[in-house]
Chains A and B, each alone.
Chain A
């Protein structure tokens, strides 16, 4: 097990490195630079600023300078925001982490019970109803749900605000928007997984032996039925933590998602690279964590 984890971590480092290299090159190939703006600046000023960030050097030279910084634990400075990238990430990561945890919690609390219920009441109104709602949850984008929640819920419920990130109540609506889509996927995946398990011989045997149906479900079916859902939760959690540009801008959440979009638009090379390293690492870790949980749940894949 330990050997697998170490090997997967080493693979993860390679993945993140490749991701960084691709981002590094692609963002520099885009037209414009971090210093171009609506009001043009003198050529000598732009040259000076390029020199400051080593952008006057060749790509291999720039990359080696950047790697040198990374090895020292420095992600460089944002040429657009004039601040260390690490500081920008440090300030925005907590909001994303809170939102991600709240979002995945909502997704799990809604999605998995809905999926199990749907599977148990297969082809009933409950099943159809749940799956219609789940389909709607998957299909309706967050930029539709978010303004609806802000405009109709936040304005009616006294302790909710239409936007802002001041107190824990402010987490509710963005987390709900973020979690609903994932909940819908989870419900469908859980239903599928549960149906597969419920049709298996050992479940039929348990029923035949007169085991209480609730025990059959809770003790035998769920363990196997939620395996596909667990495999999905890992990367979904990483995706939720990395934030959502749309949800962040609609609910005014000071998270990471907007940096990902804005850094690309602003050609903020160093911020984008920093965010990509973080997102890449999170996805690697989340997948690894999901795999570990899967091994624990499913003895058959223990090597």
Chain B
């Protein structure tokens, strides 16, 4: 009897032992991705995060689509073609005639008008409505200064033509249309489940949702996974190689890495800094380190009596050794930042900050510190592990180079945000990820009263330069004006730029057609899976 039981158990074990799970998924052409946490939702007009955008990008498609490998090239999406007038203030998009929703309903310009009206509707309360403020009259409508949506600069002369009038010269509009806030949402489905200004209706449930992207939502198991399947009604379905994508909300980065190494994932969402070295030594073929459009910095509260003195801010800035931070703490191939806007081929970031402890000390002395008068400030940080380590490094550098006494206040996320917004801090850790590849995504936030400014800094000349750039037709001249604006911003130093981000993650060798992109917004329709011996 015992022998029989043992044999049965042994057989059960053997039968369970098979190919690694990821090979099974690869054969089935189902891409399995770690996606950090459970999404806030799947309504493109409500969500605000990268996690959600990773899923929404599979389900919906904007007017233009990201090129799989070349930044700045816009491929046709819901629009077959587009033209702008000379000064980039009026754009006409010709929608493709074969564009359909996943239920077969034609996708028309009317859907776009409805979508823009919905996200801008004052009663809908979309957090990211500001992404559409480039459209003439959009802000006024969103802020209920007019009830008339026809005053907003969008129109549909015929079912397949969409005209957009902008309030300024925006040569990067095709980039904006790739952002999920500009995606169309299905009017016929949304109105079936509620009104235009109603949130939290069940239209995004798997049994109700209709989308226009390469995939459709099939299963949504809270905190477990989201499964999307190829959309048979997608206009470019022949390009789509994958049969499905499964997004796993794995919030613990160590768990995620273990799952990857145990062949349960094709790609991780991220990689903890402590694991980068290990991955680099032992799993080099999987490790991806790619430039990411974001800047890490330290905010100054310029209204603080100590920090309103420019020389104090400059002294603190010049004593940060970004190289050391990157080498010893982050280890992820980040680049030391000398400005706010990450440099590109066309945009030359003013070189405003570099590590110079001798000059830093001089500046602090000129500001009246030294001897018995020590600089004493407090650095506001979050409770995240990497923030803690960064704060300690800054504290040590300021002590070493300026003999400054810096105390660290670690606060949990919402308290940290609240303290920053109320200017209840002296120095605070900060970071910013661009929404689209244009310098304005990093510069507009420093305007007076902008909710993301959080430094108390304000400069009329800076705002005038941004306004001039908005009205400049020539794209090159526009960038030069933005460079001037950034140089002015950095000369007043309301922040210390520390490093430009990279994304560090693990990608299985079976994933093909997945190339580095600045916003990490990979168009899934070009991704494929192939079993290879290298696995």
Residues of A within 8 A of B (CB): 30-33, 35-45, 48-49, 52, 77, 80-83, 88, 91-92, 95, 147, 150-151, 154-155, 158-159, 161-165, 169, 249-252, 254-255, 258, 265-267
CB neighbours of A265 from chain B (8 A): 412-414
Give the interface SS of chain B, mostly helix, strand, loop or mixed: loop
A249 B251 Cβ-Cβ under 8 A? yes
Contact for A254 among B130, B222, B258, B419, CB less than 8 A: B222
**CB of B200 within 8 Å of the partner chain:** yes
* Interface membership of B38, Cβ < 8 A: yes
Give CA–CA (A45, B121) in the complex, Å. 10
A162–B259 touching, CB < 8 Å? yes
Q: Determine whether the beta carbon of A37 is less than 8 Å from that of B123.
A: no
In whole angstroms, what is the CA distance A280 to B48 when docked?
33
Bound: A40/B418 CA distance, A: 10
Q: How far is the CB of B177 from chain A (nearest CB, A)?
A: 19
Q: How far is the CB of A262 from chain B (nearest CB, A)?
A: 8
Q: B125: which of A38, A48, A91 is its contact (CB, 8 Å)?
A: A48
Stretch at the interface among B39-47, B62-70, B186-194, B456-464: B39-47
Q: Is residue B250 within 8 Å, beta carbon to beta carbon, of the partner chain?
A: yes
Q: Among B199, B222, B452, which residue has its beta carbon within 8 angstroms of that of A39?
A: B452
Contact check, B224 vs A48: say whether CB atoms are below 8 A apart. Answer: no
- Contact with B264, one of A44, A80, A161 (Cβ below 8 angstroms): A161
CA distance A40 to B446 in the complex (A): 12
Q: Contacts A49-B125, A265-B413 known; list 7 others, CB within 8 Å.
A: A32-B418, A42-B143, A44-B143, A48-B122, A80-B40, A82-B41, A163-B258
- Alpha-carbon distance between A33 and B251 when the two chains are bound, in angstroms: 22
Known: A37-B48, A80-B40. A88 touches B17 (CB 8 A): no
Question: Beyond A37-B48, A91-B221, A150-B255, is A252–B250 a contact (Cβ under 8 Å)?
Answer: yes
Sample 11 A-B pairs with CB under 8 A, ordered by A number.
Answer: A30-B414, A38-B417, A38-B431, A49-B125, A82-B43, A150-B255, A162-B262, A169-B16, A250-B252, A252-B259, A258-B251
User: In the complex, are the beta carbons of A40 and B46 less than 8 A apart?
Assistant: no
Contact check, B127 vs A41: say whether CB atoms are below 8 A apart: yes
Q: A39-B452, A82-B46 are in contact. Are A45 and B125 (CB under 8 A)?
A: yes
Please tell me if the beta carbons of A266 and B125 are within 8 angstroms of each other in the complex. Answer: no
Say yes or no: is B248 at the interface (Cβ < 8 Å to chain A).
Answer: yes
> Which of these, B130, B223, B251, B421, contacts A91 with CB under 8 Å?
B223
- Flag whether B135 is at the interface (Cβ < 8 A): no
User: In the bound complex, how far is the Cα of B127 from the Cα of A249, in angstroms?
Assistant: 29
The reply to whether A254 and B143 form a contact with Cβ atoms under 8 Å apart is: no
Interface residues of B (CB under 8 A from A): 12-13, 16-17, 21, 38, 40-41, 43, 46, 48, 122-123, 125-130, 142-144, 199-200, 221-224, 248, 250-252, 254-255, 258-259, 261-262, 264, 412-415, 417-419, 421, 431, 450-452, 454
Residues on the B chain within 8 Å of A151, using CB: 258
What is the bound-complex CA distance between A81 and B204, given in angstroms? 12
B223 touches A258 (CB 8 A): yes
Q: A36-B414, A37-B48, A48-B123 are in contact. Are A163 and B223 (CB under 8 A)?
A: no
CA distance A88 to B128 in the complex (A): 25
B223 touches A254 (CB 8 A): yes
Contact A254 B221 (CB under 8 A): yes
Contacts of B17 in A (CB 8 A): 158-159
Q: Are B417 and A249 in contact (CB under 8 A)?
A: no
* B262–A249 touching, CB < 8 Å: no
8 A-B pairs with the lowest CB-CB distances in the bound complex, closest first? A40-B451, A32-B414, A254-B223, A158-B17, A159-B16, A48-B125, A31-B418, A91-B222
Give Cα A48–Cα B415 distance, bound, in whole angstroms.
22
Q: Is the CB of A30 within 8 A of B223?
A: no
Which residues of chain B are within 8 angstroms of A81 by Cβ–Cβ distance?
Answer: 38, 40-41
Q: B125 — which chain A residues lie within 8 A by C-beta? A: 45, 48-49, 52
Chain A nearest CB from B163 CB (Å) reads: 26
For residue A250, which residues in chain B have a CB less than 8 angstroms away from its CB?
Answer: 252, 254-255
| Contact (Cβ within 8 A) A150 B258 | yes
Report chain B residues within 8 Å CB of A83.
41, 200
Q: Is B13 touching A163 in the complex (CB atoms < 8 A)?
A: no
* Distance (whole angstroms) from the CB of A210 to the closest CB of chain B: 34
A123 to B431: give the CA distance in the assembly, Å.
60
B255 touches A42 (CB 8 A): no
When A77-B200, A249-B251 are in contact, do A164 and B130 touch as well, CB less than 8 Å? no
Evaluate whether A92 and B255 lie within 8 angstroms (CB atoms) in the complex, with A32-B414, A265-B412 already known.
Answer: no
Bound CA span A32–B414, Å: 5
- Residues from chain B with Cβ under 8 Å of A30 in the complex: 414-415
- In the bound complex, CA of A41 to CA of B43 (Å): 17
Which residues on the A side are within 8 Å of B254 (C-beta)? 147, 250
Given contacts A40-B421, A52-B125, A88-B222, contact A31 B21 (CB under 8 A): no
- The answer for the CA separation of A255 and B223 in the assembled complex, in Å, is 8
Task: Chain B residues near A95: list those with CB within 8 A.
Answer: 224
Q: Which residue of chain A is the closest to B126 with respect to CB atoms?
A: A45
Contacting pair A52 B199 (CB below 8 A): yes
The smallest beta-carbon distance between A183 and chain B, in angstroms, is 23
With A48-B123, A82-B41 as known contacts, state yes or no: A31 contacts B222, CB within 8 Å: no
A95 to B418, CA, bound (A): 34
Instruction: Give Cα A154–Cα B46 distance, bound, in whole angstroms.
Output: 39
Who on chain B is nearest to A34 by CB? B414
Q: How far is the CA of A43 from the CA of B255 in the complex (A)?
A: 38
Identify which of B222, B418, B450 contacts A92 (C-beta below 8 A). B222
Contacts of B40 in A (CB 8 A): 80-82
* Contact B262–A82 (Cβ < 8 Å): no
Report the bound CA distance from A212 to B142 in whole Å.
Answer: 85
Minimum CB–CB distance from B167 to chain A (whole Å) comes to 16
Find the residue from B142, B258, B452 having the highest chain A CB count within 10 A.
B258
> What's the Cα separation between A235 and B219 when bound, in Å?
35
Whether the Cβ atoms of A40 and B454 lie closer than 8 Å is yes
Q: In the complex, which residues of chain B have a beta carbon less than 8 angstroms from the beta carbon of A92?
A: 222-223
A40 to B422, CA, bound (A): 12
Contacts of B38 in A (CB 8 A): 81
Closest to B144 in A: A44
User: Nearest chain-B residue to A81 (Cβ)?
Assistant: B40
Please determine whether B264 and A164 come into contact, CB atoms closer than 8 angstroms: yes
On whether the beta carbons of A45 and B259 are closer than 8 Å, the reply is no
CA distance in complex: A164, B128 (Å): 33
Shortest distance in angstroms between A50's beta carbon and chain B's nearest beta carbon? Answer: 9
